[in-house]
Structure 1
């Protein structure tokens, strides 16, 4: 029987995941399909049961279900537990549901695909202390990056996150801004600068040193004001397209055993978003 996969969320029509996974299935010669499924918050439990009964082999999870779905799963991995969020579910052979979060590791894969491991051995600044920051901090630490400093508008949240990462510390935004030259890798994880969200940047980048890798996990727009300011100071930019593609690729690998062509997909999505 032909396998099928899905992405669930509310809203879901805007998702770029179906086209991405369909192309990967075609490239790999795998007879499978991937569809978007609109699931409202109050219907989540019934939707998960329906996906199982209808033979779905796995699905991605997006807003607003990433945390609520945890109680409906049989097991989750360390990253999902750390973030208290799941973005990928795999139906195991015995029918149990296994949840993972591939966002953080997707970021690291994206970082290393573009810049190799030059960021290792350098001080890391993480801006933000939400779910995305948790996953990225965990994955960076696991991959050998750091020490990691975390800054956030609310310092208490940065302190809470830093307490979960060995060797990490929390610093006020003002101190981070004044000492940006001390960091070789800066990662912006907040929604500031995203389309339809708050405009602007979370901190000024006047003190960034040339050659510093500066990442913003937002991918629409491709070049946020944050990245533009970093580039003007000689920073090496990294937008969120690669993270989006690699988190999907990690899901694809879990489902099929094949890691797809991410470089080609990054080019495709960049073109679709009006990039060069």
Structure 2
């Protein structure tokens, strides 16, 4: 009986319970996935102790607690350590360990949609933004062996910090959003990692898409709305699209794998989740 859950605030509208109950069903496992909302006014240490006392197998962590949870854990995997952020916790052999599944989740979603992209590790990637998601994606792509990963951000210092995560073979340029507008045609994959466009289709994209390379993949990690203005503009200019809700699914798949040692085929879940999001 797998007792699983999510901590964060606010989380009442989280899609994680639906995703993980479907994964439990597909795996043929009994279990439950619950929301453990912790408001900023509550005693975090006390709430985590209460959670640990429930004999829970594991839980996900979302904002604003991805860093705050770390001192309450017994260890981190190498990715969570590099990210300085945890989104998945497992209780194993009496101890609590933290993981970060965002980067691998993104790679899985990309490989599922466009396996051909992985045939050439010299493909050029541009990451827009330099927050936690950008850090996770840069690290995952670098660890996978991609060597040409550039970062554009309004604040260069944050982008430069992320660039330090690259392996010895990586070739990373850091520049402003304005500069990114001038060179979008150079890239095979462009990833929008900022919150621009979230919840509102009408917001102006972070960059202006005009000239794009043939067969470029354009990705937005925002999943509400599904088709952001950024993605719509990219499609009108001939791009192949990667939608944000697929990263959500595949990072959950990896978290479920950590808890159960079972990698579950997502089957029709991608379309089912799309229908849920479009119905909101």
* TM-score of the pair, normalised by structure 1: 0.94
Moved more, 136-145 or 190-199: 190-199
Deviation of 1:169 (Å): 2.2
Name the structure 1 match of 2:192: 188
Unaligned runs of 5+ in 2: none
Shift of 1:196: 6.0
Matched, 1:175 2:179: yes
Q: Is the 8 A contact 1:122 1:147 kept in 2?
A: yes
Please give the per-residue CA displacement for 1:64-87, whole angstroms capped at 9, x wherever unaligned: 111100111111112212221110
**Matched residue, 2:136:** 135
Structure 1 residues 124 and 204: CA distance shift in structure 2, 3 A? same
Query: How many aligned positions are there?
Result: 273
Q: Distance in 2 between matches of 1:108 and 1:55?
A: 32
Q: What is the alpha-carbon distance in structure 1 between the residues aligned to residue 27 and residue 160 of structure 2?
A: 44
Change in CA separation of 1:197 and 1:162 when aligned onto 2, cut-off 3 Å = farther
Moved more, 33-42 or 265-274: 33-42
Q: What SS does the aligned partner of 1:139 have?
A: helix
**Equivalent pair of 1:5/1:59 in contact (CA under 8 Å):** yes
Residue deviations 1:16-48, cap 9 Å, x none? 000111111112111111111111234321122
CA contact (8 A) 2:202 2:229 kept: no
Which residue pairs with 1:148 in the alignment? 149
The match for 2:63 is 63
Q: Is the 8 A contact 1:82 1:134 kept in 2?
A: no
Question: Does 2:52 align with 1:48?
Answer: no
Query: Aligned partners of 1:70, 1:175: CA distance in 2, in Å?
Result: 36
CA distance in 2, matches of 1:98, 1:117: 34
Aligned to 1:76: 76
Which residue is equivalent to 2:222? 218
Structure 2 counterparts to residues 2-17 of structure 1, below 5 A:
2-17=1-16
Given candidates 226, 231, 239, the residue that maps to 1:227 is: 231
Please say which of residues 19-28 and 116-125 is displaced more in the overlay: 116-125
Question: How far off its partner does 1:116 sit?
Answer: 0.5
Over aligned residues, Cα RMSD in angstroms?
1.6
Cα–Cα, structure 1 residues 198 and 165, in superposed 2: closer, same or farther, change >3 Å? farther
1:33 aligns with 2:32: yes
Unaligned runs of 5+ in 1: none
Cα distance per residue 1:62-119 (max 9 Å; x no partner):
11111100111111112212221110000012x1110000001100100000001425
Give the structure 2 partner of residue 18 of structure 1. Answer: 17
Task: Show the counterpart of 2:99.
Answer: 100
Normalised to the residue count of structure 2, the TM-score between the two structures is: 0.93
Q: Secondary structure at the match of 2:97?
A: strand
> C-alpha offsets along residues 109-151 of structure 1, whole Å, 9 cap, x if unaligned?
0000000142542111010111000000000111122310000
Name segments (4+ residues, structure 1) moved above 3 Å: none
Does structure 2 retain, via aligned residues, the 8 Å contact 1:209–1:233?
Answer: no
Distance in 1 between the 2:16 and 2:226 partners? 17
